[in-house]
Structure 1
């Protein structure tokens, strides 16, 4: 227990702060009773070392030591208060409308229940009002657990906010990154020969968005955020200027949101000036936008030139009909300019060129309306309060760079290296375990140990089985811990690694208690069901106990190791590897840390299929092995090409012999 030690520490500090001054004032008196007279100074010069002067010097030294101690304590207290105040500032506060609604609801409840005791309803409490910031739960039956801070319309990221529809586009773009990696992977090549950034994990902001959507899949309940396709309906036709502390953050949100829209709607377009791009992204602007689908202009005249529908048609690949032109017939187009681009310029001509164009000026613009942008992303016209507030996506430099990395079609380096996957070297059966802490040691004797066997299935839908019967894991974090330790860190992971994977983007100090709660609930559920201790804790690391638990992924790794180390592996050995892979790793789950691990395991299996097909002299059998690999990864282009070439060979052979081929391309 920590509180007795904390109380004793507080008492010692108080004793050191109060005791010395009281003792000095009682025994010696105040250090200075007044300024020395001229006679006292002459006497001190003639004889400096006297009993009185030594006592005064020691007293002054004691007071100085006490002052240093008091200064140190005061400095620590100020640092603690500053960190606490910073945490409190990040806590979401209700808006005035929400506070009023809550007060009215509370008054109504107290008024109703003053004289009447009503039974509690069986259903869950009423949902909060739209826009109220809450900690959403995703736990199964038995307890709630907060994974991310989100409101009814969007998701909060570090120093920003993303509307839910934009977050879904981010998740879709992240899925496309992994699909491109699956398509471009060439089985049999070394990792250094693979194209692209291979298995590099996606940036932290993307992982946070994926985790939030996985935990809170419900659609928004109120359209308080506006998609790019609706901007021209809610903004003035002549364009607006944005000022305020959130202007640049909103500009980054518009940049990212428009580029995401172009992924699903090629008719959408973005025109941005070079000055605005540097203001939004800083020195890294040129590196980030090299392959992005946008048009960079140097002046307002050039923006007008590119904004004309005829000019847009000339810059497309092939002729485009008028109804398919961006900015015409409701197709969205966004123009982002800097205030320096509009000095003495008139945006009216640019606004009249095409319908459906939203023009945004970052900074002051005397020739047009100026709206205020709050740091939360809310926009409003300070001169016309009847216009409803809008809320757009807001991003800082880091979040914008993270999201732009997954939007880029060519997928440049994502700024991270692939984490080592310990699943490639699984623990061997019944290894020697390190000395365990007694608090987690089983209380059952050897004679009383149950004969039940635990099996963790991670290939397919993850489940923990006790003698073939599934055990309900009440918290989703508990199931993630089991799967993560089995696949990523079979030799053990510390608390920081677990929290980074399960709750990306959130501070560690806010998650330690949540992790311990999930671990305690998981241990209790397993112990109550079968009396076994599956998760060992030693040297500040958590690991699964292979003596108590069997994992299908470990059996797959053992089959792979046997096949790759055999001198002359037979077809039965390769087939055993394919049979040990019934489905994708954690199929159906959208946890953000899964994709690199899932893709690593999938590649090892299709490598087996490609290698065994290449070594197979029988073309029919080789084609069957390639088809097995295609069933595992139908997006891989290399397997498709090899299968097509083999089909051509089989078709030619069957044509020469006059036998009709059952294979069709």
Structure 2
């Protein structure tokens, strides 16, 4: 709770303002008791430094310091009052808008049939503490948290909780597909696909990183069913400052829902998409799982065709089911009266929702405020549901994770320079044993601090885990373990708190670092983190990191000239008990985690290719599959090795298990075909 701290701060300011004057008046008296006489001036000129003059000077200086303090407090109060007044003036009030009369306008009125908006008490647009009224391009309050009970605040918008969960799920699928498609056997390694996900996606991931997901609902629920239930059957138009942000949020929400459930679809015109995404519409639109049309007649025809196709596929399913309803998104000036009439008839007959970004001439028009709340002009006292609101940058970032890959080749300049080298130059493994010698274990370090980042991150002091209270402190440890060269303040804050302004995060970072250093020093008496040249580094003399041993083992195995490579290969597998920070979903981890994993499966494939006999090659490939069960190239090589051994049944079983693994992860062939169903009608 903030009010105790605020009350203490207020009392402290009052003491500073009232204490010095009372003390000075009591001990010294008023600073000036009248104008000095001529004799007093003559005496001061003859002997300026006396006890009385020094006391008077110090008293005047004390009063001047107090006046400066009082002036500063007064200025801050005036600034706060001005900000509060401006905030009150910006509060969006329901503006009655004239709705065009039509035969289906009654379905849009609040409180009628199942399309009525819930009669919840009016809520101001600043529901979440720490968030400002989100206008197009606005950012969240730099002192507030990004996650709240009702949604996630990001730079440039606000997402309902279920939509944010779908963003996280879609981001996870991006990395699973990258794992599936990586080819460790390729001659020239290309790590261009290890580029981090867009900043808005990282901000959503960070907001939900340490929030547990209920076990009964591992897949996020779709927000579309609840959304289409509140929209009129005859269509609706959105006006007001939130019209375009709400339209972008609707686009993202619909495509995220269709990303997992192919029964839903979205149709939009080129003009509507351009008004929402701006210059990015031309390049991004063809890669999205939606249908882009030139005019409303094409949209109406597609609605009829899609409904007829769905009826053939599932004749027993009601076409009006909310889960099957499609959305047609129109621009403000799309279509004339006859075209609108035909589209309305098609939408009512097929349970399709029509949304216009502007006045809807064939039905109701609702007012959308900058925070995403809807207001029916017929019931201005009722605040409708809050929809997702996004600016162009945030919407483009979120759409990028559900778009087909860009056909343009990656820039070779960024390949190989995306990630830090996570090895320690001073860390060496002992000479590996030959086939006639027992394999040597990695020597036990004499250091008292052991940092394990492979698996669940833990800091061990003399073999006992040390409790780290702050999640940010644990992230700092893991981040520095993966960046032995160190990191500066900007790099740490951008990684741990993506999407938030740096100027508001420096204090958080220093607090986490101070707490972490104090905890380690109290437990071991050692300084684990150095700060040199404005960079923070783990002190290699005091901290032993398992990831550094792994990279040393990989380097040794990759450069080994021994005839028997089995000991070097086995040393790598022994040094890799689990993925980097396996249970953590911090967004900055994914590229480094995948790069580390790729080093090992590259080694497995290289050794298998050079193996003299197929059984040994299959064992190496099987070890790689255990490390990355989603990689298609590993399974292809393993299947070939089994076929070479004559075990066709095992090869078939391996292929079936792999398909089941992909289906359980949601990256099966059906999902891939669904993404490639984008249609552009010229």
- TM-score normalised by L of structure 1: 0.70
Is 1:567 the counterpart of 2:561 in the alignment? yes
In 1, Cα distance between the equivalents of 2:202 and 2:369?
26
Match of 1:270 among 266, 272, 282: 266
Which residue in 2 is equivalent to 1:551? 545
Higher relative contact order (CA 8 A, sep 6+): 2
Q: CA deviation at 1:85?
A: 8.0
Distance 1:407 1:573, change over 3 A: same
Which residue in 2 is equivalent to 1:170? 167
In 2, Cα distance between the equivalents of 1:342 and 1:515?
54
Q: CA deviation at 1:568?
A: 2.9
Which residue in 1 is equivalent to 2:115? none
- 1:195-236 C-alpha deviation (Å, 9 max, x unpaired): xx52111000000000001134478xxxxx992122332111
Q: CA deviation at 1:159?
A: 2.3
Is 1:157 the counterpart of 2:154 in the alignment? yes
Match of 1:300 among 289, 292, 296: 296
Distance 1:604 1:429, change over 3 A: closer
In 2, Cα distance between the equivalents of 1:477 and 1:191?
37
2:424–2:548 CA contact under 8 A, matched in 1:
yes
Which residue in 1 is equivalent to 2:63? none
Describe the SS at the equivalent of 2:324.
coil
In 2, Cα distance between the equivalents of 1:364 and 1:510?
41
Describe the SS at the equivalent of 1:245.
coil
Which residue in 2 is equivalent to 1:422? 420
1:226–1:390 CA contact under 8 A, matched in 2:
no
Match of 1:600 among 590, 595, 601: 595
In 2, Cα distance between the equivalents of 1:217 and 1:84?
40
Which residue in 1 is equivalent to 2:134? none
**1:136-147 counterparts in 2 under 5 A?**
none
Distance 1:362 1:463, change over 3 A: same
- 1:54-111 C-alpha deviation (Å, 9 max, x unpaired): xxxxxxxxxxxxxxxxxxxxxxxx9xx99998899899x9999xxxxxxxxxxxxxxx
Which residue in 2 is equivalent to 1:110? none
Describe the SS at the equivalent of 2:646.
helix
- 1:330-377 C-alpha deviation (Å, 9 max, x unpaired): 41211111121144232531332212x221111113432111001101
1:370–1:381 CA contact under 8 A, matched in 2:
yes
Which residue in 1 is equivalent to 2:226? 230
**1:413-492 counterparts in 2 under 5 A?**
420-429=418-427, 453-487=448-482, 489-492=483-486
1:147–1:212 CA contact under 8 A, matched in 2:
no
Match of 1:331 among 313, 316, 324: 324
In 2, Cα distance between the equivalents of 1:211 and 1:87?
31
Which residue in 1 is equivalent to 2:60? none
Q: CA deviation at 1:420?
A: 3.3
Which residue in 2 is equivalent to 1:289? 285
In 2, Cα distance between the equivalents of 1:82 and 1:571?
71
Distance 1:558 1:508, change over 3 A: same
In 2, Cα distance between the equivalents of 1:230 and 1:496?
41
Unaligned residue ranges in structure 2 (runs of 5+): 1-74, 94-123, 132-141, 215-220, 429-445, 655-682
Which residue in 2 is equivalent to 1:186? 183
Q: CA deviation at 1:643?
A: 0.5
Which residue in 2 is equivalent to 1:253? 249
Distance 1:190 1:157, change over 3 A: farther
Unaligned residue ranges in structure 1 (runs of 5+): 1-77, 97-128, 137-144, 220-224, 431-450
In 2, Cα distance between the equivalents of 1:255 and 1:289?
11
- 1:585-621 C-alpha deviation (Å, 9 max, x unpaired): 0010010101000000000011111111111113212
2:248–2:395 CA contact under 8 A, matched in 1:
yes
Distance 1:509 1:269, change over 3 A: same
Q: CA deviation at 1:475?
A: 0.5
- TM-score normalised by L of structure 2: 0.69
In 2, Cα distance between the equivalents of 1:518 and 1:329?
47
In 1, Cα distance between the equivalents of 2:510 and 2:91?
30
Q: How many residues align?
A: 511
Q: CA RMSD in A?
A: 3.7
Distance 1:291 1:663, change over 3 A: closer
1:200–1:414 CA contact under 8 A, matched in 2:
no
Which residue in 1 is equivalent to 2:533? 539
**1:67-216 counterparts in 2 under 5 A?**
132-134=127-129, 148-190=145-187, 197-216=192-211
Describe the SS at the equivalent of 2:146.
strand
